[in-house]
Amino acid sequence: MDDTHVEAFAEAASDGIAFDGIEAAVEGGRYAVETTAEAESTSIADLDGLAASYPEYISNWYFWHAKAPQAEPRWAYLRWLENAESTPIPDRYDQLREGLTTTWGELSITVTLDEDDERVYDLRHVDDTGTDADSLDAYDDPLDARTLAKHDDRDRYRPLKTAPTLQSGWVFPELGPTELVQAVDFFYPATISNWHREREGELDVSHWRDTVDRQTGIYGVVKTWDRGDGYEHVNWVAEACCDDSQCLKRREWQYDDETELDVDGGSGKFPCREPCSLVIAGARKWTKLEGEQSQTYEFELTPSEKEQLEAIIDAVADGEADDIREADIYEGANRYRARFLRAKLFDNDENLGGVETEQ
**pLDDT of 13 higher than 90:** yes
- CA 143, 127, 139: angle at the middle one, nearest 5? 25
In total, the chain counts a number of residues equal to 359
pTM over 0.75: yes
The Cα–Cα gap between 319 and 334 comes to 13
Torsional sign, CA 305, 311, 315, 316: positive
Domain boundaries along the sequence of the chain: 3-67, 72-196, 204-291, 296-358
Q: Per-residue pLDDT tens for 109-161?
A: 999 999 888 999 999 999 999 999 999 999 999 999 999 999 999 999 999 99
Q: What is the pLDDT of residue 229?
A: 62
Confidence at residue 39, expressed as pLDDT on a 0 to 100 scale: 67
Task: Among 67-71, 173-177, 346-350, name the one with the lowest average pLDDT.
Answer: 346-350
Higher pLDDT pick, 356 / 223: 356
- Does the domain made of 72-196 have the CATH classification 3.40.50.2000? no
Give pLDDT, residue 69. Answer: 97
Residue 124: strand pairing partners: 108, 171
**Distance separating alpha carbons of residues 323 and 167, to the nearest angstrom:** 17
Mean pLDDT of 175-180: 98
Q: Average pLDDT of the chain?
A: 91
pLDDT of 73 higher than 80: yes
Confidence grade of residue 357 (pLDDT, cut at 50, 70, 90) = confident
At residue 299, does pLDDT exceed 90?
no
- E strands, the chain, where? 17-19, 22-27, 30-35, 42-44, 100-104, 107-113, 119-125, 137-138, 170-175, 250-251, 271-272
pLDDT at 38 over 90: no
pLDDT of 356 reads: 85
- Asked if residues 160 and 247 have their Cβ atoms less than 8 Å apart, the reply is yes
User: pLDDT exceeding 90 applies to what percent of the chain?
Assistant: 64
pLDDT at 205: 96
- Res. 228: pLDDT tops 60: no
- Which pLDDT score, from 0 to 100, does residue 226 have? 56
Neighbouring-strand partners of residue 111? 100, 121
Q: What is the pLDDT of residue 220?
A: 64
CATH of 204-291, one of 3.30.70.2320, 3.40.640.10, 3.30.300.20, 3.20.10.10: 3.30.70.2320
